[in-house]
Amino acid sequence: MYRYDQYDQAMVDARVEEFRDQARRRLEGKLTEDQFKPLRLMNGLYLQLHAYMLRVAIPYGTLDARQLEMLADIADKYDRGYGHFTTRQNIQYNWIKLDDCADALADLATVEMHAIQTSGNCIRNISSDHFAGAAADEVVDPRPYAELMRQWSSFHPEFTYLPRKFKIAVIASEKDRAAMRLHDIGVRIVQRDGAIGAEFYAGGGMGRTPMIAPLIRDFVPIDQFITYAEACLRVYNRYGRRDNKYKARIKILVHELGAAEYIRQVEEEFAHMLSVGVEPPREELERIKAFFAPPPFVSSEVETQSLSTMLEANGGQGSAFGQWVRRNTHAHKAPGYVSAVISLKPAGGIPGDATSEQMRVVARLAREYSFDELRVMHTQNLLLPHVAIADLPAVWQALDAAGLGAANMDTIEDIIACPGLDYCSLANARSIPLAQRISERFAETGRTEVVGELKLKISGCINACGHHHAGHIGILGVDKKGTENYQLSLGGSEAEDVSLAKITGPGFDEDGVIAAVEKVTDVYLASRAEGERFLDTYRRIGMEPFKEALYG
């Protein structure tokens, strides 16, 4: 994985000192809170309902054991012994003191980590496919391109006071495991006639006005990659709306101009930028790529084991271990290996939370069984990207002992939920207790396994941090005359078959929405054809049968 050189390290160290100085000037009264706010946001410090929250970047979701151990130490030292992994491959600490923040950032810098631009109206942490570097179906590893963007977007002098926040995802497979088209800019690295280039999508997003990003260029030659991104950002910085914060995201600009006009403006700026020469030297991408060379996989057939042989020797498909292997492992490009998902969604638990002890267990497993590599998934889970099939029993036993063995990836228990009213000052309703009750209920009744793949996503307000627009089932918490009310929606997807969910009708109270989720799964089970997921059945039969069951 990528390693800082003296330059990267000096940049992060300089940032820590800059923030220390800003905090000092704030305390001395030289900065007003209004002036300080964007500065602390750009260092990941966000004021929530009860305390400051610190959001630490995990660029393109990749980290090693030493880094995860530091995240655990920070949870113990400055927070309450746990952290919360987010939908954009970051980690949040919910109980940070302002006075401790610079020290926490300095600790992070010792392991090549930071909280730079994890909030604020700037280019945020670049996210990627969590299976990058491991997936059997990728064209190339997308992370070198994401790292190139990380450097370009860090402390960008022109794009630090954008109209609104700006999120970029970079993937390199037909399959989309990063909600790429629901980002301000989505990039898919592609190969055409043997040459690598980038497909660009712009103007996607969730929030109160969800939009799927249209394709704006089908091939940007890779040696013009940064230049094209710069052109996209400049058009947005100049013409994105600044009169209304709710209409300031690039999706509104692209929508109001029309994709064709936005494309025309970007192309004009792009042609100009090419003449200016902003692209990093070609050798830089090659330098970065070398860091992402595949680990030394054991490739001889004698030493690699097939999944079925290994399962047979370990209790078979039906055992708890067998179910975990079937649910939580993903095909790997190297024979004899899989990627193993570590669920942070125990039934009845808080989605995405991990204790410092759990983080240390995972770090140890990464070191022992996954070439010292880990990933944070946008589904708020962790991942061991490169596990030899023969090692799976040992990995699972250790996970299970640490309360991390839930076999529920992509099931209804694998809920994405925002922090909601338990933490967030923007929220209208609680998300976490609802997620806990739903996963508990489906686990108890044994429904989870019967229903199979079903992505349920919960947001506690219309800002949609819980991705409810993209849920096969989405739940949106609203405030209805002072009481929490939940709107149900169906048919969303953040994947390559991207779509936005539609609202079923009037909302429900907390008990009511849990019953409603069960009812829509009843409709699915009664109507599904062979091999259909919930989403497929919904798309085939439409909203009516579900409405009928809910309100009829």
Partner 1 sequence: MGNARDLGTSPDEVQFRFRDDEPVDHAAVTVDSCCDQTNATAVRIEPGDDARVLLPFLDRLALVEVNFPVFGDGRGYSAARILREAGYTGELRAVGDVLIDQLSHMRRCGFDSFAPDKRLDEEDAMRAFATWENVYQRAADARRTIADKRHEA
d(Cα 283, Cα 104) in Å, to the nearest integer? 34
The only residue of 48, 90, 117, 121 in contact with partner 1, by rule CB under 8 A: 121
Going from the C-alpha of 352 to that of each of 92, 192, 431, the distances in angstroms are: 10, 38, 12
d(Cα 201, Cα 204) in Å, to the nearest integer? 8
DSSP 311-342: HHTTT-TTSHHHHHHHHHEEEBSSTTEEEEEE
195 binds partner 1 (CB under 8 A): no
The only residue of 223, 284, 510, 536 in contact with partner 1, by rule CB under 8 A: 284
d(Cα 156, Cα 235) in Å, to the nearest integer? 15
237 binds partner 1 (CB under 8 A): yes
Q: For partner 1, which is the closer residue by CB, 5 or 511?
A: 5
543 binds partner 1 (CB under 8 A): no
The only residue of 29, 276, 290, 301 in contact with partner 1, by rule CB under 8 A: 276
Least distance from partner 1 to the Cβ atom of residue 295, Å: 24
By the 8 A CB rule, do 477 and 460 touch? Answer: yes
The only residue of 33, 283, 511, 544 in contact with partner 1, by rule CB under 8 A: 283
Q: Which of residues 386-425 bind partner 1 (CB under 8 A)?
A: none
Which part of the chain contacts partner 1 (CB under 8 A), choosing from 7-15, 317-325, 373-381, 503-511?
7-15
Which pair of structure tokens corresponds to residue 361? 């267990």
Q: For partner 1, which is the closer residue by CB, 37 or 519?
A: 37
Q: For partner 1, which is the closer residue by CB, 13 or 100?
A: 13
Q: For partner 1, which is the closer residue by CB, 85 or 152?
A: 152
DSSP helix/strand/coil, 542: coil
End-to-end CA distance of the chain: 55
d(Cα 504, Cα 489) in Å, to the nearest integer? 5
With contacts defined by CB under 8 A, how many residues of the chain interact with partner 1? 41
Q: For partner 1, which is the closer residue by CB, 14 or 298?
A: 14
Q: For partner 1, which is the closer residue by CB, 275 or 300?
A: 275
Per 3-state DSSP, the chain is made up of helix, strand and coil in percentages (nearest 5) of: 40, 20, 40
Going from the C-alpha of 198 to that of each of 140, 226, 269, 498, the distances in angstroms are: 12, 10, 18, 19
205 bridge partner residues: 211
Tell me the three-class secondary structure of 495-531, residue by residue: CCCCECCEECCCCECHHHHHHHHHHHHHHHHHHCCCC
The only residue of 20, 39, 330, 522 in contact with partner 1, by rule CB under 8 A: 39
Q: How far from the centroid of its chain's Cα atoms is residue 225's Cα?
A: 23
The only residue of 241, 242, 480, 547 in contact with partner 1, by rule CB under 8 A: 242
d(Cα 84, Cα 87) in Å, to the nearest integer? 10
Least distance from partner 1 to the Cβ atom of residue 207, Å: 19
Which part of the chain contacts partner 1 (CB under 8 A), choosing from 14-22, 80-88, 446-454, 496-504?
14-22
Q: For partner 1, which is the closer residue by CB, 236 or 396?
A: 236
Helix (H) and strand (E) counts for the chain? 18, 20
* Burial (CB count <10 Å: 0-12, 13-18, 19+), residue 526: exposed
Q: For partner 1, which is the closer residue by CB, 223 or 284?
A: 284
d(Cα 45, Cα 115) in Å, to the nearest integer? 8
Which part of the chain contacts partner 1 (CB under 8 A), choosing from 27-35, 399-407, 408-416, 535-543?
27-35
C-alpha gyration radius of the chain: 23
30 binds partner 1 (CB under 8 A): yes
97 binds partner 1 (CB under 8 A): no
Query: What single-letter DSSP state applies at residue 190?
Result: E
Tell me, residue by residue from 216 to 235, as one string, x for binding to partner 1 by CB under 8 A and - for no binding: ------------------x-
241 binds partner 1 (CB under 8 A): no
Least distance from partner 1 to the Cβ atom of residue 136, Å: 32
DSSP helix/strand/coil, 205: strand
Least distance from partner 1 to the Cβ atom of residue 254, Å: 18
d(Cα 257, Cα 268) in Å, to the nearest integer? 15
The only residue of 50, 192, 208, 272 in contact with partner 1, by rule CB under 8 A: 272
The only residue of 194, 281, 446, 531 in contact with partner 1, by rule CB under 8 A: 281
Which residue type does 4 have? Y
Which part of the chain contacts partner 1 (CB under 8 A), choosing from 5-13, 391-399, 443-451, 475-483?
5-13
Q: For partner 1, which is the closer residue by CB, 40 or 472?
A: 40
38 binds partner 1 (CB under 8 A): yes
d(Cα 131, Cα 336) in Å, to the nearest integer? 16
The only residue of 20, 77, 217, 287 in contact with partner 1, by rule CB under 8 A: 287
Q: Which of residues 292-351 bind partner 1 (CB under 8 A)?
A: none
Q: Which of residues 123-162 bind partner 1 (CB under 8 A)?
A: 151-152, 154-162
Which pair of structure tokens corresponds to residue 77? 């030292």
Least distance from partner 1 to the Cβ atom of residue 253, Å: 13
Residues at the interface with partner 1 (CB under 8 A): 5, 7-8, 10-11, 14, 18, 21-22, 25, 30-31, 35, 38-39, 121, 151-152, 154-163, 234, 237-238, 242, 272, 276-278, 280-281, 283-284, 287
